[in-house]
Structure 1
Amino acid sequence: MRIPVLLVSAFLSMPCAASVPQAPGADASPDAPIATLRLEPYRKSVAVRVEANGRQGLFSFDTAGGHTVISPEFAAHVGCTSWGRLGGYNMTGTRLDMARCDDVRFSVDGFPLAAPVVGVMQVAPLIAANAAPIDGLLALDVFAGRTITLDFAGGHLHVESPGSAAKRVAGAREMPVRLSREAQGLALAVNLEVPTPKGIVRFEIDSGNGGTLLVSKEYAAQFGLDPAKDGPQVARIPLGGGIVAEGLAFTPALNIDGNLGMPFLKDWVVTLDLAAGRMWLRRSDVPAPPGMGVPPVPAAAQ
């Protein structure tokens, strides 16, 4: 379970950007998406506006979150009585325990979504004091079995129909991935399989990581990085198919192989088939909003 990857990157600066205009809804064409939801800039990544039981909330959109998390306050407003426990570990090995709520239904831009189980925990401490408060973390679990396209720079999340999905991936580069279903199958994340001379390493696709690339210490040397260095290193990581992730990388001890955050994702339109476990990348046609995916300033430069 990767829920608060924000814990790992809490040291990053966190500018709060203005929201983008409402995305147009789907039309009746067989090649049109089922729905188009708005992704608005938030800190160095994106967020969505969620409504449940008449209550509106701002949720960080975290593709590595595993399962959706709501705050106790939001849970109370939507009539969720928490019970039991969800337990697991984030990618740095920190133990996480939280209460749960079942069958939580809500909508984003009028499109209905449902989470079989959500975690209930305080999410405000995961965000810097100068950022707008959030009410939860929206993860991929609510899109399980669907095909979605994430256009981070353009500010859209498309819920694809069969026709729109076929049109979307035409000319895009398919990349090998594996889905991970932790928390007894409740969580859902996507891991890109990256070739190295010694074998495959898997990088988690993580929109919740706003400013860095992460390579586990054990695999750092495979990408020309120094595993003993604590600070950021300039990295150039070949992902396969001629696609390269470039930016500042850290090499901490992780319980995953690596993590691709917004410094990479902001430049790509990402289509995920969350039923078949497939992913396509197409270079974004528009520049990312200011601040999105910007790496931290090295200490020596501050």
Structure 2
Amino acid sequence: MSVRMKQLYLALPIVLSLGGASVNAREVIPLKVDAQNIAATQAMVGDQPGLFMFDSGIGTSSITPATAKRIGCIPWGKVTGFRAIGERLDLSRCNTTSVTVGAFRVSMPQVVVIDLEKFMGPSARKFSGILGLDLFAGQIVTLDVADNRVVLEDHQSLAEIRRAGTEVPIRLVRAAEGAALTVDLGVPTRQGLLWMEIDTGNYGPSLIDRKAAALVSLDASKTTRQDWRVTPKPGLESSGTAVVRDLILDGDLGRDVLRHWVVTVDLATGHGWIKQSKQ
């Protein structure tokens, strides 16, 4: 999600479903980081090219009103999602269109329309929208925050990942009647697993629900940033800062944590693997 939205600690899982597509070979999607530290990539919606942010926590891919106009869409209907703090957000949508990123092309049954400038200010004008994991539903995807890239894996490359990485518990989250797609990582505590969203669009501190704070050695009474460590499996350690809030989920893992890992998720079977980043 955008810098300003994450500075306000507002996660934005919205809604969207997508059509099937297949990847027969490994495809690397480089992400370019701008002066605001936002990771984005060139893509096409329909026949219209543009610069799109990539955010694994967005829930549903989206386009701006200007992009909708360029592809001939008059936004309609209502798509409802909730921010991490529980605030409701109603958006309109466009019907079926294709999205192309590199050599990957998929037919999306719908895309949500969002006014990014409302959340980010004038800096959002260069973006045509946001791409999320729903774009890659059914695929095997590696999120490499340190190297600023998304990799679409094939079964051969997955075999290498399984040898080099550690399998971790993940949960595919299909909010909004199964339309949205995000991924939660299971983080063990003395009470059991906390399910924390893997959110490459969180450029600020990670977010932890107040009731879960003590389980990850955080002070639930503090509202400022706290240092913390995350260890989903022995040998997989990461650290960063976190803020305790009242959330509608256990937590949200931001880039300061994710940059220590290379995370691979099978968006068809619901399996995941992590290896430590070399950086």
Aligned equivalents of 1:100, 1:148: Cα separation in 2: 26
Aligned-partner residue type, residue 63 of structure 2: I
3-state SS, counterpart of residue 187 of structure 2: strand
3-state SS, counterpart of residue 187 of structure 1: coil
3-state SS, counterpart of residue 236 of structure 1: strand
Which residue of structure 2 aligns with residue 230 of structure 1? 223
The answer to whether the 8 Å contact 2:207/2:252 transfers is yes
Aligned-partner residue type, residue 227 of structure 1: A
Which residue of structure 2 aligns with residue 293 of structure 1? none
Aligned-partner residue type, residue 159 of structure 1: L
Aligned equivalents of 1:227, 1:129: Cα separation in 2: 35
Which residue of structure 2 aligns with residue 10 of structure 1? 7
How well do the aligned residues superpose, as a CA RMSD in angstroms?
2.1
Which residue of structure 2 aligns with residue 134 of structure 1? 127
Gap change, CA 1:109 and 1:158, over 3 Å in 2: same
Identity %: 34
Aligned equivalents of 2:31, 2:162: Cα separation in 1: 20
Which residue of structure 2 aligns with residue 36 of structure 1? 28
Q: Runs in 1 of length 4+ with deviation above 4 angstroms? A: 4-8, 128-132
Aligned equivalents of 2:237, 2:158: Cα separation in 1: 24
Which residue of structure 1 aligns with residue 192 of structure 2? 199
Q: Quote how far apart the aligned CAs of 1:238 are.
A: 2.8
Gap change, CA 1:5 and 1:155, over 3 Å in 2: closer
Q: Quote how far apart the aligned CAs of 1:127 are.
A: 2.4
Q: Which is further off, 103-112 or 143-152?
A: 103-112
**1:118 aligns to 2:111 (yes or no):** yes
The answer to whether the 8 Å contact 1:38/1:48 transfers is yes
Q: 1:245 aligns with which of 238, 245, 249?
A: 238
Aligned equivalents of 1:233, 1:167: Cα separation in 2: 36
- Tell me the number of residue pairs that the alignment of Structure 1 and Structure 2 aligns: 264
Aligned-partner residue type, residue 144 of structure 2: D
The answer to whether the 8 Å contact 1:150/1:270 transfers is yes
* Cα distance per residue 1:74-99 (max 9 Å; x no partner): 01112223221101211111110000
Which residue of structure 1 aligns with residue 212 of structure 2? 219
3-state SS, counterpart of residue 201 of structure 2: coil
The answer to whether the 8 Å contact 1:68/1:115 transfers is no
**1:50 aligns to 2:43 (yes or no):** yes
Which residue of structure 1 aligns with residue 260 of structure 2? 267
Q: Quote how far apart the aligned CAs of 1:230 are.
A: 1.1
Aligned equivalents of 1:161, 1:181: Cα separation in 2: 23
TM-score, scaled relative to structure 2: 0.87
Q: 2:179 aligns with which of 186, 190, 193?
A: 186
* Cα distance per residue 1:155-196 (max 9 Å; x no partner): 332212211221233210111011110111110010011111
Q: Quote how far apart the aligned CAs of 1:130 are.
A: 5.2
- Give unpaired runs (5+ residues) of structure 1: 13-29, 288-302
Q: Quote how far apart the aligned CAs of 1:154 are.
A: 2.2
The answer to whether the 8 Å contact 2:5/2:120 transfers is no
Aligned equivalents of 1:162, 1:143: Cα separation in 2: 15
Aligned equivalents of 1:115, 1:61: Cα separation in 2: 16
